[in-house]
Structure 1
């Protein structure tokens, strides 16, 4: 580690602490002997996002967004002028440390400011990134979950939950929610989305743990590892379901969603129709998604299990209140 830090001109570390930030990479906070503070990141995700070219492009985008006045944190350059160092087969970058904390509950004003921030980010990405050839809204352009495959997934997960030894209350909850989801699928299978809103560049992982706040102001947008091309308005819809949900029930604060979405549309240029299509696609995605349970039962990894109770409750509520949720995003 010392050899890597030296490449970036970081003074001898006085203290190094591994952080819990991120599921895909390793991150350390480094307090240097000269009083400066840094973040050292080791890229582990090798599924295309962690190639040297992809990371270099990601770093250039972060710097361009910062130059436009957005709260991103560009990496520092190493001794060869690059922002990425290869050491013993692994890629590393160093970022300035930013004081801040994940957001607590946001006021309606702060919710609107968040919508403006994400809208400005999407508009700026549209300006600085390579043009996107959008396949358009026709069916198949951006695939959606197949409910028959979802039923097969549920059947397999039910078997895993019932066979778990020793069983705990989480397994009972998982079994209850999986049976419940089968009923919801039967009721809504005919509503599979047929198209998508316009595609473009997105952050890719815009949620509360990837933003640092000071008070009610965003100090930094972190973790651009999933920068890529997707239906843009879906990121706005997905983010609101995470920022404005009750921790236990998953119920959305629709007044804050409305303030956020209105500000997002004004800053991004996306229309109510775009947001409406995105709401439907994200709702369908959540109805068919079980990644937290797959981590627990297939990968034996419980890091995401604490997210499941609220997420599972939210989709039940969303099915009941679909029109109210849609209205909050588009009106």
Structure 2
């Protein structure tokens, strides 16, 4: 797999380069640094000589244009201006949020702590619903210009083509995968047809429990790196898993809070399992596209195993059946 030389830039992101970049903004680092759980970008907690630690996020080359990154920053800053608890980038003395140093693009964020939400707690789900609805209320006021939509091309066609073209799928499973893929796309198109017309809005895009920091005063949300245009249900379904009865109960709590701030279109429930299926294929494609990065084989050693692909295909077959079922009740 041919890799652009720019995409090897993370190999040159040594601790000295990282600290020099942060100090180029006018702060003095203590030398303490901690790599945080991020693979698409490189994210570090950096100690300062004075004041609280900062979080420095270094963007992967060739993923987003500068305009797309700035669009993400503007969205989070708009949310912060409305006192919606997001972790927005720090604006420097020149009014910039996207910074450059030795060919690296980075942003600085305040360092905030928190725990994961308790998804079995109805009160947490109601609060989460209110919180996400406030994000969507502002997100619906205009669209992104430089960020893509959540669609079949981005989440199914391109990642599956990459997997097949670069021989990630074991040979004896290729025919089964291709046949299954065609059936999945047909079912996804059916789900979208049943959902009918729905509004696409600016979304967080990757709204899972790991991106929620729960504090005594309620939730805060981090990492808008995957912000896209799409249906509101995209930022809700990742809090809903398990059997149908359990998901229906959790959805009732989540949407109770959500509906207090923003109208939810129940037809979007037809999209839940379609979006879950699309995420599974997209995730496998993402791992494949990043396999050249030494951090990925180290962190995901199971990805190129026979067991993973057998399990992956089994999971997708289960999704095929779920997309034939009626949506959960609300």
| Aligned match of 2:278 | 285
Q: Deviations over 1:26-80 (max 9, x none)?
A: 1110111224111011111523x341x3333322221221121211122223343
Shift of 1:213: 1.4
- 2: CA distance, partners of 1:77 / 1:64: 13
| Aligned match of 1:224 | 224
What are the equivalent positions in structure 2 for 1:95-114 lying under 5 Å apart? 95-114=109-128
Superposition CA RMSD, Å: 4.3
In the alignment, is the contact (CA less than 8 A) between 1:8 and 1:94 conserved in 2? no
What are the equivalent positions in structure 2 for 1:247-262 lying under 5 Å apart? 253-262=247-256
Change (3 A) 1:143 1:64: closer
Q: Deviations over 1:229-286 (max 9, x none)?
A: x2322313xx42x32335xx9996331122213332442223223x234336426636
Scaled by the length of structure 2, the TM-score of the pair is 0.70
Shift of 1:92: 1.5
> What secondary structure, in the 3-state scheme, does the structure 2 residue paired with 1:13 have?
strand
> What secondary structure, in the 3-state scheme, does the structure 2 residue paired with 1:290 have?
helix
- 2: CA distance, partners of 1:190 / 1:30: 46
- 1: CA distance, partners of 2:227 / 2:321: 30
- 2: CA distance, partners of 1:217 / 1:99: 12
The alignment status of 1:267 with 2:281, answered yes or no, reads no
- 1: CA distance, partners of 2:72 / 2:198: 24
Shift of 1:123: 0.3
> What secondary structure, in the 3-state scheme, does the structure 1 residue paired with 2:140 have?
helix
Shift of 1:179: 9.8
Scaled by the length of structure 1, the TM-score of the pair is 0.70
Change (3 A) 1:83 1:259: same
> What secondary structure, in the 3-state scheme, does the structure 2 residue paired with 1:213 have?
strand
The alignment status of 1:191 with 2:190, answered yes or no, reads yes
| Aligned with residue 276 of structure 1, among 246, 265, 269 | 269
Q: Deviations over 1:138-179 (max 9, x none)?
A: xxx98547xx979x869959x855459xxxxxxxxx99x959
| Aligned match of 1:19 | 36
In the alignment, is the contact (CA less than 8 A) between 1:75 and 1:93 conserved in 2? yes
In the alignment, is the contact (CA less than 8 A) between 1:24 and 1:45 conserved in 2? no
Q: Deviations over 1:170-213 (max 9, x none)?
A: xxxx99x9599579759958836335521121112211222211
Report how many aligned residue pairs link the two structures.
Answer: 295
